[in-house]
């Protein structure tokens, strides 16, 4: 009690303090805090249930001092963590700090549990695990889903923005983790309601960084997102698309552009062959080409007139020829002094020249060759009326084979990009087709992330090692420059860097914050290389420096461990095989979404545009490339309408055979999306999303508003409705733009 009796010095101040409670107040707020367990009430709202522990041990308090009516601090015992509480500018700011002399052992962090959702008085929880989730806390399906899929989530990569919002009655409470690293969220379904806990870990690498939380009240679920947007602006973390466009004029091509991934990695496709029997006989007569055994067994014995070449045989012949050419003209493995990009380009050109010299009589004109992209594909895109496209390869070799096709695509006004990554490095021979991971042995070993337990962090899908983005920057910069030069790209997609995949690295004592800074610095450097439009994965709020677009948040990955989705080829939910190489089923096979994912992740009633409130005028976001707009048949209309409502771009995957006519289904789908998305985005790309509301009680009719007064109304129902006196058909949107345009668009049902 000695610490408490010492407070009598401040008796003239309008506060109260006891062993249980202290009060911070100003003219409109009264906040009651229990220092020892951190239960908090703010006016008539419950902010936090009793939750506080350090390394699972309850705490007492010492040296409780109330500095003013709006400020107090105390020390937790026995952990000795210092706590500050400040009521400032309508926000409660809490900070927790480790004393400077405290020693923390490697792999033995101090774990602070500071938050427990007051679920008994909470109605709805809003979480940015994707674009935004609306979670009624009394929904058992949500409680089970969150416990199974998100318990243990971090707040850098998993939570796409470091805040959440709670609704209690007509008021909302938002919790912004100012220090977003080294946190975890735990969900529980032990009660009928959703429960959520939050922990922070002080480690030997971050112990000098205080953990800070900023709590605000609001009248609308969007207020937390708006407060975070303003906080980013105030702390110079926000760069608008308009500002980026001044630095990168090519960004104008991204405005209103649908996102297209192109599949195929080799020189020719089956569409490039004019004489199949001639090509077959020539191929097996070439002693200087190494033919795969499967081709020798299944194709070589076939004879014209007696046998026929099936679709399978034709694909196998083309695949075998492409593989033989790659073996004949091998590029060296990358080394520390030679990234081999120039050699890969030269090898690609040698393959092309040799095939032209030796087999042109069996093929179309060489300027029309191409598996992932060809002049014929571009002709059909143009005939289909596609004026705004972002075209992305899954590796850069198609551009190295046919650089003139890239030039033609750019002349049509398109952005052309390749996927690149510096996140995982693998040894030679493990998967030589995984070009981005072909990094020098020295880089793989010396840049590998060292975990607290002393082991190197295993890379993607257990291959190689994950790398620290602060390592070997000169090598990365040179490879990026070379890829852009030889591929003639005007855009680049950098995998992982914008996911905020923060880890500690004990190799060089990089904290998670250091790693986030390294990702941002790397992206910022790339974005300044010429007139290059940079994008990355997810676009998480902590790693958006330099990027104009991102892929990942509008449809996130789900069901990673679901056996039916991954392995049962007879199931309607099977996502598909990663085969054949030029057109993997996984990306092109239609599938249905099973429960609970169908309801929880795709029902419009459970979706909210949290990310768009913060980033609509900063980063253009779309689906993750695992799930393009056409992937899921039983939620396609919902996905399309949500995308239109939030003004985010569609994504459609293409291969050569899927674009062999202007009337091909996928090109027609792109043309249909373009009818609405392009003119709407051209009006709204630089406007913040300012409002989102339901126009009915069931969430079947929803509306977004933007800073210029434009509105988009989506009717998810099966009956027509009226909005502002205008009819909105079933499964359609109505955009009423400030420039006077009215755009009606109806989603297709597969």
pLDDT at position 126 is 99
Decide if 726 is inside a domain: no
Please state, in angstroms and rounded to a whole number, the distance separating the CA atoms of residues 548 and 490.
Answer: 13
- Per-residue pLDDT reduced to its tens digit, 428-487: 888 888 999 999 999 999 999 999 999 999 999 899 999 999 999 999 999 999 999 999
74 domain-assigned:
yes
Please spell the DSSP secondary structure of 172-239, one letter per residue. Answer: EEEEEESS-SSEEEEEE-SSSS-EEEEEEEE-TTTTTS-EEEEEEEESSTTHHHHHHHHHHHHTT---
Number of domains comprising the chain: 3
Same domain, 146 and 107: yes
Instruction: Kindly report the number of other CB atoms within 10 A of residue 740's CB atom.
Output: 6
CA distance linking residue 627 with residue 602, whole number of Å: 13
Domain match, 107 and 51 both: yes
Is 14's pLDDT higher than 70? no
Query: Is it the case that residue 7 has pLDDT exceeding 80?
Result: no
CA dihedral (714, 229, 616, 254) in degrees, to 10, reads: -170
Please tell me whether residues 513 and 554 are part of one structural domain.
Answer: yes
394 found inside a domain = yes
**Residue 230 sits in the same domain as residue 308:** no
Rounded CA separation 732/713 (Å): 8
β-bridge partners, 135: 125
Co-location of 88 and 129 in the same domain? yes
Same domain, 282 and 258: no
List, for residues 153-196, the tens digit of each pLDDT value. Answer: 999 999 999 999 999 999 999 999 999 999 999 999 877 899 99
CATH code, 149: 2.70.98
398 and 306 in one domain?
no
250 and 191 housed in the same domain? no
In this structure, is residue 540 part of a structural domain? Answer: yes
Query: Is residue 532 a part of any domain in this protein?
Result: yes
Q: Does pLDDT of 8 surpass 70?
A: no
Last residue of a domain, one of 354, 388, 409: 354
Q: Assess whether 633 and 655 both reside in one domain.
A: yes
Query: Has residue 450 been placed in a domain?
Result: no
Supply the range of the domain harboring residue 499.
241-265+371-423+467-694
Q: Are residues 55 and 104 in the same domain?
A: yes
- All residues at 6 or more sequence positions from 348 whose CB lies less than 8 Å from its CB, including other chains: 267, 329, 397, 400, 401
Whether the pLDDT of residue 13 is over 70: the answer is no
Q: What is the mean pLDDT of residues 657-667?
A: 98
Q: Is the pLDDT of residue 112 over 90?
A: yes
Judgement on whether residues 226 and 288 belong to the same structural domain of the protein: no
The verdict on residue 456 lying in a domain is no
Predicted local distance difference test score (pLDDT) of residue 750: 57
Cα–Cα nearest to 95, from 245, 210, 216, 241:
210
Within-domain flag for 165: yes
Query: What's the whole-number average pLDDT of the chain?
Result: 95
Say if residue 589 is in the same domain as residue 666: yes
User: What gap in Å lies between CA 629 and CA 616, rounded to an integer?
Assistant: 19
Last residue of a domain, one of 694, 728, 744: 694
**Domain end marker among 234, 257, 287:** 234
């Amino acid at each position: 009690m000695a610490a408490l009796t010492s407070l009598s010095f401040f008796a003239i101040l309008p506060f109260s303090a006891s062993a249980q409670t202290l009060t911070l107040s100003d003219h409109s707020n009264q906040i009651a805090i229990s220092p020892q367990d951190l239960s908090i009430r703010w006016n008539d709202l419950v902010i936090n249930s009793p939750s506080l522990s350090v390394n699972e041990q309850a705490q007492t308090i010492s040296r409780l001092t109330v500095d003013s009516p709006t400020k107090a601090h105390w020390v937790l015992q026995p952990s000795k963590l210092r706590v500050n509480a400040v009521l400032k500018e309508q926000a409660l700011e809490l900070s927790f700090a480790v004393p400077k002399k405290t020693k923390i052992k490697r792999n033995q962090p101090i774990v602070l549990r500071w938050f427990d959702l007051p679920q008994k008085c909470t109605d709805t929880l809003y979480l940015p695990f994707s674009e935004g989730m609306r979670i009624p806390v009394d929904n058992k399906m949500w409680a089970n889903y969150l416990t199974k899929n998100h318990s243990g989530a971090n707040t850098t990569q998993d939570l796409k923005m470091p805040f959440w919002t709670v609704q209690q009655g007509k008021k909302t409470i938002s919790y912004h983790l100012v220090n977003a690293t080294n946190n975890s969220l735990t969900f529980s379904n032990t009660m009928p309601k959703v429960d959520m806990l939050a922990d922070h870990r002080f480690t030997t690498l971050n112990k000098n960084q205080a953990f800070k939380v900023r709590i605000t009240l609001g009248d609308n679920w969007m207020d937390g997102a708006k407060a975070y947007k303003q906080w980013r602006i105030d702390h110079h973390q926000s760069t608008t698309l308009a500002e980026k466009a001044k630095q990168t004029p090519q960004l104008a091509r991204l405005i209103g552009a649908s996102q297209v991934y192109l599949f195929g990695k080799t020189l020719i496709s089956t569409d490039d062959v004019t004489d199949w029997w001639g090509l077959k006989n020539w191929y097996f007569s070439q002693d200087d080409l190494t033919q795969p055994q499967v081709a020798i067994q299944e194709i070589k014995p076939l004879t014209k007139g007696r046998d026929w070449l099936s679709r399978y045989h034709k694909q196998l012949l083309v695949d075998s020829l492409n593989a033989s050419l790659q073996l004949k003209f091998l590029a060296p493995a990358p080394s520390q002094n030679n990234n081999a990009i120039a050699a890969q380009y030269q090898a690609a050109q040698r393959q092309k020249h040799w095939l032209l010299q030796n087999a042109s009589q069996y093929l179309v004109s060489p300027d029309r060759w191409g598996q992932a992209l060809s002049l014929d594909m571009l002709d059909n895109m143009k005939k289909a009326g596609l004026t705004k496209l972002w075209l992305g390869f899954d590796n850069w070799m198609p551009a190295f084979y046919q650089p003139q096709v890239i030039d033609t695509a750019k002349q049509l006004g398109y952005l052309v990009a390749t996927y690149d990554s510096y996140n995982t490095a693998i040894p030679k021979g493990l998967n030589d087709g995984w070009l981005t991971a072909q990094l020098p042995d020295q880089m793989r070993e010396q840049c590998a992330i060292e975990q607290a337990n002393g082991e190197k962090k295993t890379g993607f899908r257990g291959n190689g090692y994950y790398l620290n983005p602060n390592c070997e920057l000169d090598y990365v910069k040179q490879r990026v420059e070379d890829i852009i030069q030889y591929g003639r790209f005007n855009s680049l997609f950098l995998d992982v860097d914008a996911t905020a995949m923060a880890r500690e690295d004990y190799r060089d004592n990089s904290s998670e914050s250091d790693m986030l800074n390294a990702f941002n610095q790397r992206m910022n450097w790339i974005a300044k290389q010429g007139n290059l439009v940079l994008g990355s994965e997810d676009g998480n709020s902590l790693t958006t420096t330099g990027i104009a677009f991102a892929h990942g948040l509008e449809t996130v990955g789900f069901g990673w461990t679901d056996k039916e989705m991954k392995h049962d080829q007879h199931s309607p939910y099977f996502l598909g095989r990663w085969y054949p190489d030029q057109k993997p089923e996984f990306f092109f096979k239609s599938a249905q979404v099973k429960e609970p994912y169908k309801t929880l992740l795709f029902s419009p009633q459970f979706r909210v545009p949290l990310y768009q409130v913060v980033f609509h005028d900063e980063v253009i976001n779309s689906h993750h490339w695992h799930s393009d707009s056409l992937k899921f048949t039983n939620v396609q209309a919902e996905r399309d309408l949500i995308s239109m409502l939030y003004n985010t771009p569609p994504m459609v995957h293409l291969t050569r055979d899927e674009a062999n006519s202007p009337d091909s289904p996928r090109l027609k789908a792109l043309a249909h999306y373009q009818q609405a998305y392009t003119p709407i985005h051209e009006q709204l790309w630089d406007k913040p999303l300012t409002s989102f509301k339901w126009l009915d009680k069931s969430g079947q009719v929803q509306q977004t508003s933007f800073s210029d007064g434009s509105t988009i109304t989506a009717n998810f129902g099966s009956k027509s409705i009226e909005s502002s006196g205008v009819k909105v058909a079933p499964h359609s949107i109505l955009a009423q733009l400030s420039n006077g345009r009215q755009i009606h668009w109806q989603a297709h049902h597969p």
